[in-house]
Amino acid sequence: MEETWYRASRVCRILGNPIAFQILLALERDGPLTPGVLAQRVGRTVATVSLTLAKLQAIELVRYDAAGGRPHYRLKQSQETRRLLAALARFVRLAARLREPR
């Protein structure tokens, strides 16, 4: 498999995790945020959010800055990630219309 498609499949796999998806949406909307704030926003423990952030960081969707002693996570490629999220929303809306009875 070509490297680009392999990386794309990893992004899709991680975005299939609702917690990871919620974290990306929160960072897109309100970021940068600490793991504690993200945990509150997505209704999970800090440990779960931290593990998910590590996975998102491994596929280069998020990064952190440790200013002030606490890590604040943000989207690494914010413009591209916003486009990806918007494209996914359009796809889901289109797919829902295709399922509707005629």
* Range 87-94 average pLDDT: 90
- Residue-wise pLDDT tens digits, 24-36: 999 999 989 999 9
- Residue-wise pLDDT tens digits, 7-18: 889 998 999 999
pLDDT greater than 90 at residue 19: yes
- Domains along the chain with CATH numbers: 3-99 (1.10.10.10)
Compute the distance between CA of residue 72 and CA of residue 33 in angstroms, rounded to an integer. 5
